[in-house]
């Protein structure tokens, strides 16, 4: 998912997307521990996507706070 697409998500969608990516990341970590990980690059992609989602959610929260204070 591109960051531009992430910016169009609502608050509930952010939580759902983050949880689904964390769940997939956990499953990939188990596969890596077992030694049968088919796509090792997917771990990096998921970690990056979770970080991007958290960053965009935080940016939006700060923008809302700033808008309320003004």
pLDDT tens-digit map of 35-66: 999 999 999 999 999 999 999 999 999 999 99
**Rounded Cα distance, 21 and 44, in Å:** 11
Residue 29 has pLDDT above 90, yes or no: yes
**Rounded Cα distance, 14 and 53, in Å:** 7
Cβ proximity of 53 and 25 under 8 Å? no
- Tokens at residue 42, please? 């997917």
Share of the chain above pLDDT 70, in %: 99
pLDDT at 10: 85
**What predicted TM-score, i.e. pTM, was given to this entire model?**
0.85
What is the band of 69 on the pLDDT scale with cuts at 50, 70, 90?
confident
């Amino acid at each position: 998912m591109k960051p531009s697409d992430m910016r169009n998500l609502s608050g509930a969608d952010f939580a759902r997307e983050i949880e689904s990516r964390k769940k997939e990341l956990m499953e990939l970590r188990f596969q890596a521990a077992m030694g049968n990980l088919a796509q090792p690059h997917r771990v990096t992609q998921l970690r990056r996507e979770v970080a991007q989602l958290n960053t965009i959610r935080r940016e939006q929260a700060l923008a809302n706070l700033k808008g309320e204070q003004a």
